[in-house]
Amino acid sequence: MLLSIEPDGPVPIYQQIRDRIVEAIADGRLPAGSALPSTRQLAVDLGVNFHTVNKGYDLLRQEGLLRLGRKAGAVVRRDAGSGPPDPGWAQDWTGRLRTLLAEAAAQGMPATDIVRECLAATGDFAFPATAAEAGNGSGGSP
């Protein structure tokens, strides 16, 4: 997996690391069970502080996407085929989506454009075809 960040970008580096890994899980490049580099290794490779990577990994752990162990290291815990999301996650996500939509509305973006952008973005990721498929997943969820 090619992980790229913009050190001078407006988004914090730990957030960029978290976002790139989420995108890789979503598009199938990092299926459940995939190993990620240790925080120190990734920090060295990206030339950033170890605590920055640690913060990004910890966010992913809190979201249930990553499992951090002393022996196994950082391992992807779930992907699109691992079944329905954890309870409460959908509610949080809806709240964040509302904020994103509010930003678009405040900037004067038409609803049709928003829907078109959303549909275009869904083509980039490996969504389960149906709700039933999401419920019958056989991914790496523990």
Partner 1 sequence: MSAGSLAAVLPVPVVGALLSVAARPARPTVQFGVRVPRERAGAPVIGRERRAYYWRTAAIGVCCTAAAVTVRGYGSWWLPRIILLLELAADLGCFWVARRKIAAVKNADNWFAGLRQTIATDTSWRTDPPRFPVRWLIPALAVMAATAAVGALRYPGLPAHIVTGSGHRVPKSAVSVLVVAGQLYFTAVYSGLM
Q: Report the alpha-carbon distance of residue 49 to residue 57 in Å, rounded.
A: 13
Q: Report the alpha-carbon distance of residue 98 to residue 94 in Å, rounded.
A: 6
Q: Which residue, 38 or 141, is less far from partner 1 as judged by CB?
A: 38
Q: Which residue, 9 or 84, is less far from partner 1 as judged by CB?
A: 9
**80 contacts partner 1 (rule: CB under 8 A):** no
Site string for partner 1, 27-56 (x = CB under 8 A): -------xxxxx--xx--xxx---------
Rounded to a whole number of angstroms, the minimum distance from the CB of residue 22 to partner 1 is 14
Question: Which strands make up the sheet holding 73-76, listed edge to edge?
Answer: 35-36, 73-76, 66-69
Q: Report the alpha-carbon distance of residue 45 to residue 14 in Å, rounded.
A: 14
Instruction: List interacting residues with partner 1 (CB under 8 A).
Output: 1-9, 34-38, 41-42, 45-47
